[in-house]
């Protein structure tokens, strides 16, 4: 039977491919020196807690540990986060403070500090990750041109601190080739791949043994049920359409 792409069943196939590989959390990638080829596995929990938990349990069955970044307050749910943490995964903070402060850096860093403290009441957060909202004009990472994340006792930022990995694969926009990414990019990536589906990505994961790979899968896109699958499909198409329109508007206003 053919497995539907972007479903929990297909994510199981990814886990099968990852099972025999050196998969690490963002925290362990940053703390392990010297570095050997590995797969850094990251999840931005932008929406679905239910899917995040299902994904975390599945990974645990395959002996895989990864990093889950949660937004505040959208996906900040202590009960779910504790379950995911108890399975051996890393809990991180998915910040969007420049958006919240509408570009005001001083306000933004105050919000960052406050929200990070809330996370740390429950979890030892060592890494953070920018949430890239395609509808706003700010890039959350820009805050670190003015401030130092080390001053907050952090080991790293999931984009900035991993820029030594040249292969970044993300499911953003349901397109592994990065055609619908506004902000979800590493600064160093340069290769052009032609993945038609997740099956091609799995083949690639199985074949690449020399270089480290950075893999980002959003749980909202890998649900167990058919209804959730259709919802995610519709949302992705709407977002991709919105991004195309924004791109046109922005290129028009520059020209
Ligand atoms: Zn996000």
Is pTM beyond 0.85 here? yes
Ligand 1 center from residue 198 Cα (angstroms)? 20
**How many Cβ atoms from other residues are within 10 Å of residue 191's Cβ?**
8
Residue range 20-36, pLDDT digits in tens: 999 999 999 999 887 88
Ligand 1 center from residue 46 Cα (angstroms)? 5
Residue 147: Cβ-neighbour burial (10 angstroms; 0-12, 13-18, 19+): middle
Ligand 1 center from residue 225 Cα (angstroms)? 22
Ligand 1 center from residue 250 Cα (angstroms)? 22
Ligand 1 center from residue 134 Cα (angstroms)? 10
Ligand 1 center from residue 181 Cα (angstroms)? 12
Ligand 1 center from residue 200 Cα (angstroms)? 24
Rounded distance between C-alpha atoms, residue 128 and residue 125, angstroms: 8
Ligand 1 center from residue 69 Cα (angstroms)? 8
Ligand 1 center from residue 218 Cα (angstroms)? 8
Count H helices and E strands in the chain, helices first: 8, 8
Residue 179: Cβ-neighbour burial (10 angstroms; 0-12, 13-18, 19+): exposed
Ligand 1 center from residue 47 Cα (angstroms)? 9
Ligand 1 center from residue 124 Cα (angstroms)? 20
Q: What was the pLDDT predicted at 235?
A: 86
CATH superfamily to which 8-254 belongs: Glycoside hydrolase/deacetylase (3.20.20.370)
Q: Residue with structure tokens 């907050």?
A: 152
Ligand 1 center from residue 17 Cα (angstroms)? 25
Ligand 1 center from residue 80 Cα (angstroms)? 17
Q: Which two tokens stand for residue 121?
A: 């009441």
Ligand 1 center from residue 173 Cα (angstroms)? 12
Rounded distance between C-alpha atoms, residue 211 and residue 164, angstroms: 11
Residue range 163-195, pLDDT digits in tens: 999 899 999 988 898 765 656 766 555 466 789
Q: 154 phi and psi, to 5 degrees?
A: -100, 145
Ligand 1 center from residue 91 Cα (angstroms)? 14
Ligand 1 center from residue 122 Cα (angstroms)? 21
Say how far residue 72 (Cα) sits from the centre of its chain.
15
Ligand 1 center from residue 132 Cα (angstroms)? 5
Domain residues of the chain, as ranges?
Answer: 8-254
Residue 62: strand, helix, or coil? coil
Ligand 1 center from residue 13 Cα (angstroms)? 23
Pairing of strands 67-70, 90-95: parallel
Which contiguous run of DSSP H or E holds residue 243? Answer: helix 226-254
- Per-residue confidence of the chain (255 residues) as pLDDT tens digits? 689 999 999 999 999 999 999 999 999 999 988 788 999 999 999 999 999 999 999 999 999 999 999 999 999 999 999 999 999 999 999 999 999 999 999 999 999 999 999 999 999 999 999 999 888 889 999 999 999 999 999 999 999 999 999 899 999 988 898 765 656 766 555 466 789 899 999 999 999 878 899 999 999 999 888 888 878 888 888 878 777 777 777 776 544
């Amino acid at each position: 039977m053919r497995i539907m792409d972007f479903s929990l069943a297909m994510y199981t196939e990814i886990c099968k491919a990852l099972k025999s590989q050196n998969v690490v959390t963002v925290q362990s990638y940053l703390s392990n020196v010297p570095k050997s080829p590995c797969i850094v596995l990251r999840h931005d929990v932008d929406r679905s807690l239910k899917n995040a938990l299902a994904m975390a349990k599945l990974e645990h069955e395959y002996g895989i540990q990864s990093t889950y970044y949660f937004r505040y307050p959208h996906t900040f749910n202590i009960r779910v986060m504790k379950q995911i943490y108890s399975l051996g995964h890393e809990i991180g903070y998915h910040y969007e403070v420049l958006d919240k402060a509408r570009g005001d850096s001083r306000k933004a860093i105050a919000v960052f500090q406050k929200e990070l403290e809330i996370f740390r009441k429950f979890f030892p957060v060592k890494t953070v990750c920018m949430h890239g909202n395609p509808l706003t004009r700010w890039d959350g990472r820009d805050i670190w041109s003015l401030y130092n994340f080390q001053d907050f006792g952090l080991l790293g930022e999931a984009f900035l601190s991993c820029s030594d990995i040249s292969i970044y694969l993300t499911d953003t926009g349901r397109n592994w080739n990065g055609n619908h990414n506004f902000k979800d990019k590493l600064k160093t990536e340069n290769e052009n791949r032609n993945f038609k589906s997740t099956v091609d990505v799995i083949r690639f994961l199985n074949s690449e043994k020399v270089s480290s790979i950075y893999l980002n899968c959003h749980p909202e896109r890998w649900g167990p049920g058919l209804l959730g699958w259709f919802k995610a499909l519709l949302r992705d198409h709407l977002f991709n359409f919105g991004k195309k329109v924004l791109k046109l508007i922005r290129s028009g206003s520059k020209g």
